[in-house]
A and B are shown apart, each in its own frame.
Chain A
């Protein structure tokens, strides 16, 4: 089931009664989510990603714009009639019901022609439990389960009524680091197995990048970029997206273009012919640095962190907008920290320049 969001906008009235200031939580969101894909809505808190999810679920009504599931306009449809499954951040399992009763709960609400007999309901519940591998926990209460197990129950409860769309709100945020890795693979597997179009919300870019077919990066209600994770990473549309994706984060410098040459501070880094003279912000991915004795970029090294296969060189540069410049290079390189400068060449496809005012990407061609 594909999902189409058309000019989707959500405006919250001001909480402060004195001012008329409204909060635009989601601003003119247009997107077509292809059938059977796993989509990550990504952004810092307050960016409108959860509001978007809640509008798709029907728990919140859009101020304007439309939502389609396939060809059906569901904008005015109430939550229970949309055929969605929703997994909450804190799972929202009914604490007084057993796992089995929790999973059965949505089925018992079906009315009219959708009504199921007892055995069918039980079969469906077992099937859902099996899919998330919690068959042996069916008679326990939620309080007797670990966080990861509760998460699985919540997913089973969302899947049991065979939803057209599965929505997950920060599905991994309440799990510890090890479980998080395991569970995100699990979510990927379940999504693949069921083929249900799935949208999940996260503030963790690594999480979104690792399992999504596509990611949507949002900031203060406005969609910044939509694309495959690798494409967005390799080709960010603006400084925000570039900064938001990647660990360690991108290095940012203030620079300028003069006569077709890009300068970072006093270092002439690269020739770029197509860009007019102007002040710019330069972003370089940590893996974009190449150690080169004659390299144009001169940084003062302060520390080396060994990470096994790679090493991370921590250094400083006068033009850097971050306190530290961090590069990742192959561990085979010999680095001498005590030397005055470490010199880098830069891989052209790992360097991005942005307009200083608008922070929009300035595209250039390398000669």
Chain B
């Protein structure tokens, strides 16, 4: 076959495949979008249902034929929820525990990660390996003894019991240490030449450079406080120290009784709202933190 006819053949071939390819691509793309949108709707539906239900009257909620838009928007459900579940006090308690434990935890994480990343001492590698080893053990194993320790220390029903036992997170130390190690050693030497102390170098150079990681840790830690349930229920479930998740569950604990469901949904929406706000504004940091952690809260 001559070169010329080969070329003609090929051009024909190509025209044919492009037509089928284009058709296939359009069908394929449509299928992909249909699938994704369907899943997205399923994912979103509970949120829609939560907000919708929270705006209905109890009567409308109970209609055997559901309505998908409230006949009458009942914002009073929210005020009722706020008082019924004592959400104000719960929010304050949770915010207090969240902020204090995050600040202290950040401080400890920073200085510990710095020691592991930059300072020299005997047994460093061994100690770090031992720390990582504790990550394998399920938290329940610690909880049993910690519960006894906390009660022995007389911390039952105090904020201290909610804050102190979880200040050290091996995982966050690991995360930050990795980040610190990426900072070139020359910066440290340069700071030494400039007469900077270890302490000043840590806070003036390393901490600003590791800021994204620190923000991720802060958000995850705050979310942890907001979502914690088991430990607070064990050690501080009195009126004065109750956290938001426990308060929410306790306020609407009966699912078969004559609960006011719209009010319950309003309370759920109120509890979820801060998380959504954080998500909207700090999505980047949360996703970055999560993709490296895999630990919820």
B195 to chain A, nearest CB (A): 3
Q: How many residues of B contact A (CB 8 A)?
A: 15
Q: Which among A86, A96, A105, A106 is the interface contact of B209 at CB below 8 angstroms?
A: A96
Q: Which among B186, B187, B191, B193 is the interface contact of A57 at CB below 8 angstroms?
A: B193
Give the interface centre of A59, A89, A90, A109 by most chain B CB atoms within 10 Å.
A109
Kindly report which residue of chain A lies nearest to residue B207, judged by CB atoms.
A96
Report Cα–Cα, A111/B196, bound state, in Å.
11
Kindly report which residue of chain A lies nearest to residue B211, judged by CB atoms.
A96
B-chain residues with CB within 8 Å of residue A96 when the two chains form the complex: 205, 208-209
Q: Are B184 and A90 in contact (CB under 8 A)?
A: yes
In the complex, which residues 171-217 of chain B have their Cβ closer than 8 Å to any Cβ of chain A? Answer: 184, 186-187, 189-196, 200, 205, 208-209
Assuming A90-B184, A92-B184, A96-B208, is B190 touching A109 (CB within 8 A)?
no
Q: Are A80 and B193 in contact (CB under 8 A)?
A: yes
A173 to chain B, nearest CB (A): 13
Report Cα–Cα, A157/B190, bound state, in Å.
10
Assuming A92-B186, A95-B209, A109-B200, is B195 touching A59 (CB within 8 A)?
no
B190 to chain A, nearest CB (A): 4
Assuming A80-B194, A105-B194, A109-B195, is B187 touching A59 (CB within 8 A)?
no
B44 to chain A, nearest CB (A): 39
Give the interface centre of A57, A59, A94 by most chain B CB atoms within 10 Å.
A94
B-chain residues with CB within 8 Å of residue A80 when the two chains form the complex: 192-196
Kindly report which residue of chain A lies nearest to residue B205, judged by CB atoms.
A94
Report Cα–Cα, A57/B194, bound state, in Å.
11
Q: Are A92 and B195 in contact (CB under 8 A)?
A: no
Residues 62-83 of A, flagged 1 when their CB comes within 8 A of B and 0 if not, give: 0000000000000000011100
Report Cα–Cα, A92/B190, bound state, in Å.
7
A-chain residues with CB within 8 Å of residue B184 when the two chains form the complex: 90, 92
Q: Are B194 and A109 in contact (CB under 8 A)?
A: yes
Report Cα–Cα, A90/B187, bound state, in Å.
10
Is residue A31 within 8 Å, beta carbon to beta carbon, of the partner chain? Answer: no
Q: Are B200 and A86 in contact (CB under 8 A)?
A: no
Q: Are A106 and B195 in contact (CB under 8 A)?
A: yes
Q: Are B209 and A92 in contact (CB under 8 A)?
A: no
Q: Which among A86, A94, A95, A110 is the interface contact of B193 at CB below 8 angstroms?
A: A86
Assuming A92-B186, A109-B200, is B193 touching A85 (CB within 8 A)?
yes
B118 to chain A, nearest CB (A): 14
B-chain residues with CB within 8 Å of residue A59 when the two chains form the complex: 189, 192-193
B-chain residues with CB within 8 Å of residue A109 when the two chains form the complex: 194-196, 200
Kindly report which residue of chain B lies nearest to residue A110, judged by CB atoms.
B195
Give the interface centre of B184, B194, B208, B209 by most chain A CB atoms within 10 Å.
B194
In the complex, which residues 246-291 of chain B have their Cβ closer than 8 Å to any Cβ of chain A? Answer: none
Q: Which among B186, B196, B200, B208 is the interface contact of A90 at CB below 8 angstroms?
A: B186
B124 to chain A, nearest CB (A): 15
Q: How many residues of A contact B (CB 8 A)?
A: 24
B-chain residues with CB within 8 Å of residue A282 when the two chains form the complex: none
A-chain residues with CB within 8 Å of residue B193 when the two chains form the complex: 57, 59, 79-80, 84-86, 106, 158
- Interface on chain A toward B: helix, strand, loop, or mixed SS? loop
Q: Which among B187, B200, B208 is the interface contact of A92 at CB below 8 angstroms?
A: B187
B54 to chain A, nearest CB (A): 44
Report Cα–Cα, A109/B191, bound state, in Å.
9
Is residue A233 within 8 Å, beta carbon to beta carbon, of the partner chain? Answer: no
A-chain residues with CB within 8 Å of residue B192 when the two chains form the complex: 59, 79-80
B188 to chain A, nearest CB (A): 9
Report Cα–Cα, A88/B193, bound state, in Å.
11
B-chain residues with CB within 8 Å of residue A79 when the two chains form the complex: 192-193, 195
Report Cα–Cα, A59/B195, bound state, in Å.
11
B-chain residues with CB within 8 Å of residue A85 when the two chains form the complex: 193
Residues 87-122 of A, flagged 1 when their CB comes within 8 A of B and 0 if not, give: 011111011100000000110011100000000000
Report Cα–Cα, A85/B186, bound state, in Å.
14
Q: Are A88 and B195 in contact (CB under 8 A)?
A: no
B212 to chain A, nearest CB (A): 11
Q: Are B196 and A86 in contact (CB under 8 A)?
A: no
A293 to chain B, nearest CB (A): 58
Q: Are B190 and A86 in contact (CB under 8 A)?
A: yes
B192 to chain A, nearest CB (A): 5
A-chain residues with CB within 8 Å of residue B189 when the two chains form the complex: 59, 86, 88, 92
Kindly report which residue of chain B lies nearest to residue A80, judged by CB atoms.
B195
Report Cα–Cα, A95/B208, bound state, in Å.
10
Q: Which among B186, B187, B205 is the interface contact of A89 at CB below 8 angstroms?
A: B186
Kindly report which residue of chain B lies nearest to residue A169, judged by CB atoms.
B186
B-chain residues with CB within 8 Å of residue A106 when the two chains form the complex: 193-195
A38 to chain B, nearest CB (A): 19
Kindly report which residue of chain A lies nearest to residue B189, judged by CB atoms.
A59
Report Cα–Cα, A37/B45, bound state, in Å.
77
Report Cα–Cα, A81/B193, bound state, in Å.
9
Q: Are A88 and B194 in contact (CB under 8 A)?
A: no
Kindly report which residue of chain A lies nearest to residue B208, judged by CB atoms.
A96
A-chain residues with CB within 8 Å of residue B191 when the two chains form the complex: 105
B-chain residues with CB within 8 Å of residue A92 when the two chains form the complex: 184, 186-187, 189-190
Question: What 10 A-B pairs come out closest when comparing CB atoms?
Answer: A80-B195, A92-B186, A106-B194, A92-B190, A109-B195, A88-B186, A96-B208, A86-B193, A79-B192, A92-B187
Residues of A participating in the B interface, judged by any CB pair closer than 8 Å: 57, 59, 79-81, 84-86, 88-92, 94-96, 105-106, 109-111, 157-158, 161
- What are 14 A-B contacts with C-beta separation under 8 Å? A79-B192, A79-B193, A80-B192, A80-B193, A80-B195, A88-B190, A92-B184, A94-B187, A95-B209, A105-B191, A105-B196, A106-B194, A109-B195, A158-B193
Q: Supply 17 further A-B pairs (C-beta < 8 A) apart from A80-B196, A90-B184.
A: A59-B192, A79-B193, A79-B195, A80-B193, A80-B194, A84-B193, A85-B193, A86-B190, A88-B190, A89-B186, A90-B186, A92-B184, A92-B187, A94-B190, A95-B209, A105-B194, A161-B194
